[in-house]
């Protein structure tokens, strides 16, 4: 079974530029999560999707962050404009509808904002 | 506020000995706890979990202990192997909802 795929793996941009991250979850996993992991910290949930519906986006900074999961499969997370404090690893995870506790994580995208 | 805390940023043990990783939490609504392992440049991988109705769960070399009154859990790895060297994250979930709250992680190094 293929794992969660994320791209790009690394991204370096200047502040105020836009950036987008892409995630392809494990086939059949209806639930998709985006996390942000700051250096020396654990992952923090940004948004959770059940199919194409965002069911938990309370931690998403909506002034600059947006996400979509068209057709309930792939997902894109966007930041516009990026700030220095957005430098972090952005992790995507997916899980079965009945197996939320075992979330399968992708390798993440390491974002550096200069 | 940090609801899940791993106070030891790092731990070093000898191969074959026991590794004990600790985690404390403050939210009494947490009822399910998980440990994830993370290698460099990879995403976290689920390792083992425990429900609040239990005080121990074992899976091979890995055992998780839960002390609800102390709001403390620990992960024991016996015997430790060099391949266990990774960052270990403790995570917790509330009774309602599926959001996971993670600790800061502990870097375990197992020396041959």
Residue A112 to residue A93: CA distance in whole angstroms:
21
Residue B88 to residue B62: CA distance in whole angstroms:
12
The backbone torsions φ and ψ at residue B24, rounded to the nearest 5 degrees and listed phi first, read -120, 150
Put simply, the answer to whether B9 touches A40 (Cβ < 8 Å) is: yes
Residue B95: pLDDT above 90?
no
Q: A29 by DSSP, 3-state: which?
A: coil
Among B29, B19, B20, residue whose Cα is nearest residue B82 = B19
Nearest to A43 among B42, B44, B45 (CB): B44
**What's the pLDDT at A101?**
67
Nearest to B43 among A41, A56, A91 (CB): A91
Residue B102: pLDDT above 70?
yes
Radius of gyration, CA atoms only, chain B: 13
A90 - beta bridge partners? A36, A109
**What's the pLDDT at A72?**
83
Nearest to A42 among B32, B49, B103 (CB): B103
Supply the mean pLDDT for chain A: 92
Residue A43 to residue A109: CA distance in whole angstroms:
13
State how far residue B30 is from chain A, nearest Cα, in angstroms. Answer: 13
Residue A59 to residue A73: CA distance in whole angstroms:
22
State how far residue A83 is from chain B, nearest Cα, in angstroms. Answer: 23
**What's the pLDDT at B97?**
72
- Residues of chain A in contact with residue B36, where contact means CB-CB under 8 angstroms, are 105
For residue B48, what pLDDT band results from cuts at 50, 70 and 90? very high
How does pLDDT run across A59-68, given as a tens digit for each residue?
Answer: 999 999 999 9
For residue A100, what pLDDT band results from cuts at 50, 70 and 90? low
Q: DSSP for chain B?
A: --SEE---SEEEEETTS-EEEEEEE--TTEEEEEEEEE-TTS--EEEEEEETT-SEEEETTEEEEEETTTTEEEEEESS--GGG-EEEEEEEEESSS--EEE---EEEEEE-
Residue B69, class by beta-carbon neighbours within 10 Å (0-12 exposed, 13-18 middle, 19+ buried)? exposed
Specify whether the CB–CB gap between A68 and A53 falls below 8 A.
no
How does pLDDT run across A42-90, given as a tens digit for each residue?
Answer: 999 999 999 999 998 989 999 999 999 988 899 999 999 999 999 999 9
Residue B91 to residue B36: CA distance in whole angstroms:
8
For residue B62, what pLDDT band results from cuts at 50, 70 and 90? very high
- Residues of chain B in contact with residue A103, where contact means CB-CB under 8 angstroms, are 46, 100
Specify whether the CB–CB gap between B38 and B89 falls below 8 A.
yes
For residue B112, what pLDDT band results from cuts at 50, 70 and 90? very high
Q: Comparing A35-39, A107-111, B92-96, which segment has the lowest mean pLDDT? A: B92-96
For residue A96, what pLDDT band results from cuts at 50, 70 and 90? confident
């Amino acid at each position: 079974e293929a794992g969660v795929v994320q791209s790009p793996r690394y991204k370096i941009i200047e502040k105020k530029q836009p950036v987008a991250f892409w995630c392809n979850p494990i086939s059949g996993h209806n639930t998709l999560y985006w996390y942000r992991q700051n250096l020396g910290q654990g992952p923090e949930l940004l948004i959770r999707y059940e199919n194409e519906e965002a069911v938990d986006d309370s931690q998403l900074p909506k002034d600059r962050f947006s996400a979509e999961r068209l057709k309930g499969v792939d997902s894109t997370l966007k930041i516009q404009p990026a700030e220095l404090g957005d430098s972090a690893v952005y992790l995507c995870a997916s899980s079965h509808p009945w197996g939320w506790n075992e979330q399968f994580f992708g390798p993440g995208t390491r974002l550096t904002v200069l | 506020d940090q609801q899940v805390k791993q106070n030891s940023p790092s731990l070093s043990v000898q191969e074959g000995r026991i590794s004990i990783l600790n985690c404390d939490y403050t939210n009494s609504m947490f009822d399910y706890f998980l440990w994830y392992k993370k290698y460099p440049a990879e995403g976290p991988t689920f390792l083992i979990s425990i429900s609040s109705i239990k005080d121990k769960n074992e899976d091979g070399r890995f055992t998780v202990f839960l002390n609800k009154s102390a709001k403390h859990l620990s992960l024991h790895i016996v015997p430790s192997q060099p391949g266990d060297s990774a960052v270990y994250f403790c995570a917790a979930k509330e009774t309602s909802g599926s959001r996971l709250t993670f600790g800061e992680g502990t870097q375990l190094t197992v020396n041959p």
